[in-house]
Amino acid sequence: MQCFEIGDQSGLDSLRASRREKLQPGPGEAIVRVSAACLNHRDLLVLQGGYGPRRPTDRIPTSDGVGEVQSVGEGVSQVKPGTRVISGHFCTWIDGAFAPSVFGADLGITRDGWLAEEIRVPANALVAMPDVVTDAQAAALSAAGLTAWNALVEVGRIKAGDLVLVLGTGGVSILALQIAKMHGARVAITSSSDQKLEAVRQLGADITINYRTEPDWEKALLAQTGQAGADIVVETGGFATLGRSITAAAANARIVLIGALAGAPSGALPNFSTIIGKNLTLRGITAGNRRMLSDLVAAVAANALQPLIGRTFPFDEAHRAYACLKEGAHVGKVMIKM
């Protein structure tokens, strides 16, 4: 089979094409023929050697994907050949609370991922796709979509009328916008690009703030909400933006920490006491389990949610797809189709 490997992890040029023998399922496993994969920011970090320890050079990357079951191993009854499926990238986290052990079976990181013609996955991790959910919808759900769902539904306890603040217009942020609107919430979103802000207004964003022209974007949000602030904050910037997110939060808000895209912090939080004064909840999350993913798929099917695919590349142009993600000019997800 054809695949890509992460190579020496010295940068985007380390991504290399390769060939392997056709996969065979072991007991409890399924072999899935890949239809499409979507890229996430951590896929860039892996190629740059910046996502934990360096991985084996022959690791197949990417954590988001969709495909059709080709064969199953002994003891598998959950799925059968011909079923279209996805899997959470923590493929042993089936239900229940997070445990650090899930990092030992992380698709694209500690196990081979989706950037190949085939992938081997524990069968009990797979979630079948309803016919009404297309490959383009499904390919973005298992990492970015699941993270947004966990942030808003599981941790954020979202309800109609809430105001959700989302930082940036990357894959998780756009899916958080769409899931929030699906729940009847209002959404505020930030970007440094007026063009991107126009795009998210077309997706239903209620408040848009250009943080380049309004660097005190938290004050702008408070001004536009009558000083009320946001009930849920999807915090993709990390410690560098956390202080502003705390200021922008409403009383009793939930701030969900899912990334650190804004870079290193410039100092201690200037408003640490506000966490107590506003009775805020700060919670870090890492994607989610299979049960959450199944709930997300059901919601996508029932509400015809269409994840925004910003750019699509053929499999043999995977290098261009990674370069597009790094450039950051797109809105939504970058997809690679087989």
| Confidence band for 267, pLDDT divided at 50, 70 and 90 | low
Determine the pLDDT at residue 264: 57
Amino acid of residue 191: S
Measured distance CA(128)–CA(300) in Å, rounded: 13
Interval 292-334: pLDDT, tens:
999 999 999 999 999 889 899 999 999 999 999 999 878 889 9
- SS3 track for 34-56: EEEEECCHHHHHHHCCCCCCCCC
CATH code assigned to 2-140+307-337: 3.90.180.10
- What average pLDDT does range 232-241 have in this prediction? 90
Confidence (pLDDT) at 240: 83
pTM for this prediction:
0.93
Q: Domain spans of the chain?
A: 2-140+307-337, 147-284
Beta bridge partners of 232: 164, 254
Encode pLDDT of 27-84 as tens digits.
Answer: 999 999 999 999 999 999 999 999 999 999 999 999 999 999 999 999 999 899 999 9
Residue identified by tokens 């904050």 is 233
132 class by beta-carbon count within 10 Å (0-12 exposed, 13-18 middle, 19+ buried): exposed
CATH for the stretch 147-284:
3.40.50.720
Is the distance from CB of 145 to CB of 133 less than 8 angstroms?
Answer: no
